[in-house]
Amino acid sequence: MKLSIVSGLNESLIGIQKDTEEIKSLCKFLKPLGYNGIELSLLRPEIHDAKKIMEIVDSYDMEVSALGTGSTFIRCGYSLGHVNEQLRQKAIDRLIKYMDFAIETESLVIIGLIRGRYNYDSSLKKERLNIISSLKKCVNLAEDRDVELVFEPINQFEIDSYNTIASSLELIKELNSDNIKLLIDTFHTHLEEDPGFVWDYLDDIASHISHLHLADTTRRAPGTGHFDFRTFLNIFKNHNYNGYASIETIMKPSFEDVAKESAGYLQTIIED
């Protein structure tokens, strides 16, 4: 199991030199803490020099674990389920750019908030069908590019579709592709899953999971709340999971503090 953490790049400062400085700084800080990779949350992957980024990441013997796509919905309003066909297509077009970036960085592409929220005056059934239709197109594109997508169940307070692991797995089975698997986030798992059954269920479906997000019940650094990270991570260790466990939290009091606290806490479990 490998450890990474979510970070953005300052996309208001466009240019190879700025990318170089930010990535170098991240790698220099994270590598001694035991991190193996960085999960990049980007709005416009096409403005970044993926080749240069990889040269720096490789020089630290690190990886880009995954690409976050949620900004496409949060900042642009494009989503896979939108009632407006043009906005659905814009979401797919943005995902193509993420996939192209993922080819060069050998990273996963996350399907989370980009599926959008339901419009107040639309049919929930129709928007759900829109998500499925859009995802089928995305999966075909991913297959053509040999890119892996990871689909994230997200709690009902943030999104209106596929809140549970079971419903998300059902969707993935319907899509019937080796190029889309599950992303499991501990914060959403805590809010949506039955604590009496979730551990056995995760054990049963571990082979469908390719990426993990870690945040405590407080949505702060692991170890600051009461989520049972030892039981959770041991499930994947027992299945010889060799993917990433990526810290995705509220970065308070600071990114540096979260990175240090999380690494120190999680390594006692991962390396046990």
CATH of the domain at 187: 3.20.20.150
Q: Is the pLDDT of residue 16 over 60?
A: no
Find the range with the poorest average confidence among 21-25, 124-128, 178-182: 124-128
Look up residue 66 and give its amino acid.
A
pTM for the whole structure: 0.95
pLDDT of residue 10: 79
Sorting pLDDT into bands at 50, 70 and 90, what band is 117?
confident
- List of residues 6+ apart from 266 with CB closer than 8 A: 3, 214, 222, 223, 229, 233, 245
Tens of pLDDT, residue by residue over 126-179, are 888 999 999 999 999 999 999 999 999 999 999 989 999 999 999 999 999 999
At 221-266, the pLDDT tens digits run: 999 999 999 999 999 999 999 999 999 999 999 999 999 999 999 9
Task: Tell me which H or E stretch contains 214.
Answer: strand 209-214
Counted domains in the chain: 1
CA pseudo-torsion sign 203, 165, 130, 158 = negative
In which domain, by residue range, is 212 found? 2-270
pLDDT at 56 exceeding the cut of 70: yes
The DSSP bridge pattern shows strands 108-111 and 149-151 to be parallel
Q: What is the DSSP string of 34-75?
A: T--EEEEE-S-GGGS-HHHHHHHHHHTT-EEEEEE-THHHHH
Closest CA to 67 of 42, 46, 92: 42
